[in-house]
Structures are given as structure tokens and as C-alpha cells.
Amino acid sequence: MGKSGYSVANVLLNLGCEVFLNESKDLSGNTDAEKLQSKGVNIRSGELALDWYDKYSFEVIVKSPGISYDNPMVQEGLNRSIAIVTEPEIGFSICNAKIIGITGSNGKTTTTTLVADMLNNGLKKGKAYAVGNIGVPVCDIVQKVTPNDVLVTELSSFQLMGMPSIKPDIAAIIDIYPTHLDYHKTFDNYISAKLSITRNQSAEQFLLVNQDQSDILKIETEYSKATLEPISLENKSESVVSIKDNCLQYKEEKIININEIKLPGQHNLQNISFAVAISKLMGITNQAIKKTLTTFTGVKHRLQYVDEIANRKFYNDSKATNIEAALVAINSFNNPEVLIAGGLDRGFEFDDLVIALKEHVSKIVLYGETKELMAKAAKQAGLSDISIVDTLEQAVPLAFEKSSPGEIILFSPAAASWDQFDSFEERGDCFIKYVKSLVVN
């Protein structure tokens, strides 16, 4: 009964399906549940509805992406050979708009937002919708789009595992790093989930790949039948996007001077490169692309500037749900940082943070399930000022109290939100609220 569950239930009802919804949380008083029940949805909440399998004959199970395949309801469905899909699979199956699919370990949201903005600046007909893992279910949009419209879809590995029919006109795999291994069990399984985005593509369709990840690229080129468009920040000769004479180019076309790009950070050049290549494949003019790049400053929860209080700048990077994303954020600033981090314990060590912590962080405030593991990494980095608290609400004022004028206070958790929050969005919104409520003496 999250956003995607509510959305797909409504679409299935509109298609004439009989819909059953099982939610482990108690939905008493939930207005969305009441709306669905009034439309005829059978709802069981607060417990697993395993007995349904003996009472009804199900054709398909739409699984919330974060629910494990080990879940008893899912396992029983698999045992009975019932199709297990995720919400975008249902949405795409009835969609008559063009589909762009974007995945990767990092940069998905920024790239998706950039592409949608570039397309809306340059499409002669129709509209681009940023949907999927970005926070807007595909099913919210599909029943109103036309063939002139475009779904620019951020897709997670969790979603892709339940999308057997996906066949985007353009697919992009920005990068792949070992993450979500508690869910996928092995890195190979995670790679396989990401590659699902191109499983059904044909030679008339396009796959954008990260040429700088040569080991992954080899797998992609063997797996995909799509026409490859390589992207390299190292200016490899095959790359369709390059930086020459301080200009970002697509093939031989000069798009924009690097100094004119508003989106900060070296890491964002990768996201921009993918967005430019996708937009060019969609026939968008350089002028429309440039308009986005000279105005777009970033997405919420991704290195989002929040406020400056007493000469300390606060940044919300709640979307950094893994170590790689946090490293990007920590390495983005020249001023010393007070880092707030912590979250769901997926069984990882945080040794990969040590060098960045040593070079950029003056003090660290840790909370959540990973606090002790992160403290171990902070000690390895030689940090002397390590604070441990229970909650983010406690961490924010303590970080401010420990900071000095001119320092950055960065919230980049390096872990998922689910130990204390329902989503990284909720976590980021709470961080912003706690910052805004700081009392300055």
C-alpha cells in the first residue's frame, strides 16, 4: 500500500481485474485503503494472507519492489508458478508512449530529471514525464499519455527483476557497483537484474553504457542486441560524448562550455553525458539541451543545498543509500565537513570511506543501525571527534553544535533509510525539518 501499490491497484481495477491487496502493516483508518475498498478491492492488512491461495485462483502477483523474494507470500506464489511482477511492468504493458529506461547504481534520479527537462524544452509535440523509482509510479501516468509523449523512467534493480517484458526505445545503464547485495545475494545477481533493462531490446533500439567500466561493458555487449552508445568521461575514442577544449560535445557537435553548466560536481558530468546522448537520440536540439544545463541545479535529496546558518552550509544527500553515492558527496566539497551518516545495516564494512573521511571530514555524527560500523571506519581515518546518537533528530543539532564557521554540514547516510524511515525521501524531509528548527544562540 505504498505509492506504487495504490497506483497499480487503480489501474488494474480500470482494466476490469479483480484485485486483492495484502499489506503487512495495519491499514485501519488509511484513506487510500478505504478508497480502494469502496471500489471493490479485497484488502487484508496486518498479517500475511496465505490462505487466499487456497480460496482464489490468481493470475499475477504485483510485488512491491522492496519486498524480498523470500517473503512467504511471494514464495507461495512462485511455488504455484504464478507470475511475479512489479508495478512498471503493468504500466508499460498498456502504455502507448515512447519509453526511455534509466538504471544504474548512482545518478539515476539526476539523469532521469535532466532528460525529462531537456525533452520538455525541445519536444515539438507531446510531453515527457519523469516516472518510476523517481517517486511517480508509471501507473499514475500511463492511462493519459499519447503516442507523442515520452515516459522517462528511473528503474531500480528491484523493479527490473519483476519486468519480464520490458523493451524500452532507449535504455541507459549509468554505472554498476556492488550494492543491495543483502537483497540480491551476489554481485552477479545484481548485474543480471540491471541487464534486464536491455533483455528484450532489438537492434533498432539503443543502449547507453558506461565505457569506463570495462569489465561490466564486456557483459553488456555480449548480452544486448541493441545498438550501443558508449559514454566515457575518460574521452575514449568510441564515446559519443566527449569534452574537448572545455566544451561538452556529442559526436562532433559542440553542445555547451563546461563553465556554463549549473549542476555542480565532477560526478554530475557522467549524468549529464548520458542525458545529452539520450536527448540527441530523441532529436532534441542543442539549444533545448543547453537551456536545461544552464538552469538545472540538482534534485531534491541529492546534494541538495538546504540552508546557511551561522556561516555553516547544510546539504541534504539522503539519496546516498550506498557507500559509492556517499563518496561522491564527501568528495564534492573543498571546505571541511561535519558528516552525518548512518542507516540500515546490510552487513557491509565501511572501509571504502576511510580515505575520503581522512581528506574531507573534520567531525562525524553517526546514528542508526550502522553507527558502530561507521565509527570503526572513522577511527581508521584518524578522526578524533566521533559522536554516536540514536536518531537523526538527535544528530542534526549535535552536528551544528560541533561545527565551526565555514564548515559544511553534510547529511550523506551511506546506508538505506529503512531502519528508521519508510523511504530516503521521508528521511531527507526530516533532515530539512530538523535543520530549519535549529535554534541559534
| pLDDT tens column, 238-255 | 999 999 999 999 998 999
Dihedral of CA 66/162/166/175: which sign? positive
Check residue 235 and give its pLDDT: 81
* Residue partners of 242: CB distance under 8 A and separation at least 6: 232, 235, 248, 249
Check residue 334 and give its pLDDT: 86
Q: For strand 408-411 and strand 361-366, is the pairing parallel, antiparallel, or unpaired?
A: unpaired
Cα distance between residue 138 and residue 135, in whole Å: 9
Phi and psi, residue 210, nearest 5°? -90, 105
Torsion of CA 357, 358, 362, 365, to 10 degrees: 30
Check residue 292 and give its pLDDT: 97
Over range 64-85, report the average pLDDT: 95
| pLDDT tens column, 119-132 | 999 999 999 999 99
pTM (global) more than 0.75: yes
Cα distance between residue 269 and residue 293, in whole Å: 11
C-alpha cell at 66: 522492496
Does the pLDDT value for residue 14 go beyond 90?
yes
- Using a pLDDT cut of 70, give the percent of the chain over it: 100
Q: Where are the domains of the chain?
A: 3-85, 93-293, 304-436
- Helix, strand, coil tally for the chain in percent (to 5): 35, 20, 45
Strand order in the sheet with 337-341: 304-309, 312-316, 408-411, 337-341, 361-366, 386-388
Check residue 76 and give its pLDDT: 97
- Provide the 3-class DSSP secondary structure of residue 191: helix
Cα distance between residue 357 and residue 219, in whole Å: 33
Does the pLDDT value for residue 440 go beyond 90?
no
C-alpha cell at 413: 547516510
Cα distance between residue 253 and residue 250, in whole Å: 5
Does the pLDDT value for residue 265 go beyond 80?
no
Domain 3-85 falls under CATH 1.20.120.1200: no
Q: Which residue has the higher pLDDT, 432 or 302?
A: 432
Binding residues for ATP: 104-110
Q: How confident is the model at residue 116 (pLDDT cuts 50, 70, 90)?
A: very high
- The enclosing H or E element of 395 equals helix 392-402
Over range 346-373, report the average pLDDT: 96
**Which range, of 109-118, 297-306, 357-366, averages the lowest pLDDT?**
297-306
Check residue 431 and give its pLDDT: 98
Domain 304-436 falls under CATH 3.40.50.620: no
CB 435 within 8 A of CB 306: yes
Binding residues: 104-110
Q: What is the mean pLDDT of the chain?
A: 94
Range with the largest mean pLDDT of 261-265, 294-298, 402-406: 402-406
End-to-end CA distance of the chain: 43
What residue has cell string 529503512? Answer: 418
Does the pLDDT value for residue 67 go beyond 80?
yes
Does the pLDDT value for residue 264 go beyond 80?
no
| pLDDT tens column, 388-414 | 999 999 999 999 999 999 999 999 999
| pLDDT tens column, 155-192 | 999 999 999 999 999 999 999 988 778 888 899 999 99
Over range 46-50, report the average pLDDT: 96
CB 339 within 8 A of CB 367: no
> 93-293 adopts what CATH topology?
UDP-N-acetylmuramoyl-L-alanine:D-glutamate ligase (3.40.1190)
Torsion of CA 333, 358, 317, 24, to 10 degrees: 170
Determine the length of the chain. 441
Q: Which residue has the higher pLDDT, 162 or 265?
A: 162
